A and B are shown apart, each in its own frame.
Chain A
Amino acid sequence: MWKIAVWLVALSVVLGGCGPSTKTAATTLPLTGNLTVFAAASLTEAFTAEKATLASKAPHLTVTYSFAGSQALVTQIQQGAPADVFASADQKSMQKLVDAGLVDAPRVFARNKLEIVVAPGNPKHITGLADLAQPGLVVVLEDPSVPAGAYSRQALQKAGVTVKPKSLELDVKSTLAKVTSGEADAAIVYVSDVQSAGTRATGVAIPDAQNVVATYPVAVVKASKNHAAATAFVDEVVSGSGQAALRHQGFLAP
């Protein structure tokens, strides 16, 4: 309750003289219309959970998510896709939009680390990145154009391991799915992804020395038709109820 009140005050400060002042003790926000959020695939569970919270806070706001590899979303926004908010899994993708003048100043809202994901119970006894080079092991990675793919390669390079992946998927969720379905023996995804898999997968930690920290920035898209809601969403994610959801899913603080 306290947090909500603080949030409401912060919001009213931000919105200043833009419109009628917000109700103080109420738990609803006077946000209406549609909000389209383009977010990296690894944010699927966290943001989807957040949707429920938002629904109770802004019942007149319709939020739609589009989850995909960050690189895919960047291309779509560059071609004029109607996104209001963009949340990326790496700075590189966000930077492309910044350079093109398509987004407002981004803010980092989470960090993530990589983890090896294997079948439940770790039947192939993978202990670290070095084990991924085993002959006969079916390993799947993300395509280098995907943030997780770039990060994975960095980690492998740090560990001095050469892996021959059997496929290069287009986002972390597809990669994860290959392991949970039993098609692949191992893959490198985010800690949050392993968490989301629950009992359908087991994670093998990557030591910090080899690991890569992914930085997740979020920004309001300049062409948004619902700046109020977009900004509110960004705030929610950066310092509001979104943080709890992210933490719950295994993300690290920004």
Chain B
Amino acid sequence: MTLDAAVDVTVGTFHLDVRVAVGDGELVAVLGPNGAGKTTFLRALAGLVAIDGGRIVLGDQVLDDPAAGVFVAPERRPVGVVFQDHLLFPHLSALDNVAFGLRRQGRSRRAARAAAGEWLGRVGLAAEADRRPAQLSGGQAQRVALARALATDPAVLLLDEPLAALDVHTRTAVRRDLRRHLDGFGGMRLLVTHDPIDALTLAHRLVIVEGGRVVQEGTPEEITERPRTEYAAELVGTNLYRGTAEGELVRTEGGAVIVAPAAMTAPGPVYAVISPAAVAIHRHEPEGSPRNTWPGRVAHIERLTTKARVRVDGPIAIVADVTAAAVNALDLREGAEVWTAVKASEVGVYPV
């Protein structure tokens, strides 16, 4: 089953005109700055907003087609939504929140609560079943919201900035869980976010929306290497490596070694993240403070208005943002041999 959503809608003075397709079992992340129209897009998919033009087709069911006069109400769309502020019903316990959708599907109270109980167990919150949302922490509430959306077995799962309302520490833990549950959900998933880490760690494909229009689509690697706009570069220019942490070091899957800061996580599988702005390019092996230096070859230079994104291949493939002036000064061109340097303190490490 695939989702093909061509959404043309005007809300107030804002005009959104995007087209996004999600393949069978695919997880697409929609990224964009605040006000870009991401949430409006999501609401249109869910049926909470009727589009003015375009067409939304899920599988072989047309959900919204103004030209043909077709509009399927939200309650009849096989779409589940996880909202930013969890939006759990305050007057119901966690269990009854999760059971809500099942009850609306016609299941008896007992059957619905039993199934809900299982789902709560899967997100690790079986013990909190009788608690009210107000008594749950932010992370717990978001997990209940996820269980609630998944319990109805939707064909598409929409997530609207699911981690945005959480503090930094909780976010990491929940992101990990989220990844696990999203991996376990076989249907189509569409994640709206402004956090590139979410997108890069969770999504197969990214769609970048700015000012109500799609400005770029592609895999995280594609966009990282060839960002089409400044924003895309800012957003998706992040070097992400999977590896194993050992003390101060991270050994990547490719065999390279990254030196990471002293205050580290426990040994085990991790992501190492390096911002392109933190990468310095040198013509010769640098001396001095950076504890991470790697040789490499310039693979591609993407020139933007005020800077350039340079991709360097080598023991570790890395992208760096440098000024246009620096490109000239270093005489960077494809194939040139260079050294990249990153301070250990600029390396972020996240448990997988």
A and B touch in the complex (CB under 8 A): no
> Which residues of chain B have a CB within 8 Å of any CB of chain A?
none
- A residues near B (Cβ < 8 Å) are none
